[in-house]
Structure formats: structure tokens, C-alpha cells
Amino acid sequence: MTGVSSRYARVVTLVNADGLHARPAAEFVKLAGSSGGRVTVNGRDARSLLAILSLGLMQGAELEIATDDLDGRGAVDALADLVATGFERTDR
């Protein structure tokens, strides 16, 4: 099938007062790594701690969490929810 895109993305605002510093970034990367599909954040690999930290995201920044993989849709939603709640995970 040509012309069919499997791209799926969500844009969320970072609400953490300290931004996406080491601890929440590590949690984000861990969750991204547990998914089956490839996911990106603002074009960077969501499974790479260095890539996420290098974005220098501060409170109020918008993150585009995206995948081109059908298996990555659940991860996009989970990561977007994690960011939107200020990294207050309820599934631990």
C-alpha cells in the first residue's frame, strides 16, 4: 500500500518544575525501552538517556512523542501520559 502512513504522535507539555532532568529522564527511557516499537521524542530516540538529556527540556516545553511503528502506539500513549502527569506513574 503506497501513501498509507502508520505515523502516530502526541504532543504534550512538560509540567515538571525542574524539567526533564536525570531522574525523570531515566524513568522515561526505561518505559520507552520496555515497548516493542521505536519511539522518538522531538526526533530523538526515546530509548537513549543521552539523547533525551541533550534536548535540555525545561518546564513548559512541548514534546512530540511519535512512532512510525504500529507496535509503538501503546508506548507513545504511555510516555505521553507519564509526561502529562508530571511523572506520577500509577502502574508501579
Catalytic residues: 21
- Please choose, from the candidates 92, 90, 80, 91, the residue with its C-alpha nearest in 3D space to the C-alpha of residue 14: 80
- Alpha-helical segments (H) within 1-92: 22-33, 49-53, 73-84
As a whole number of angstroms, the longest Cα–Cα distance in the chain is 45
Q: Dihedral sign, CA of 79, 88, 57, 52? A: negative
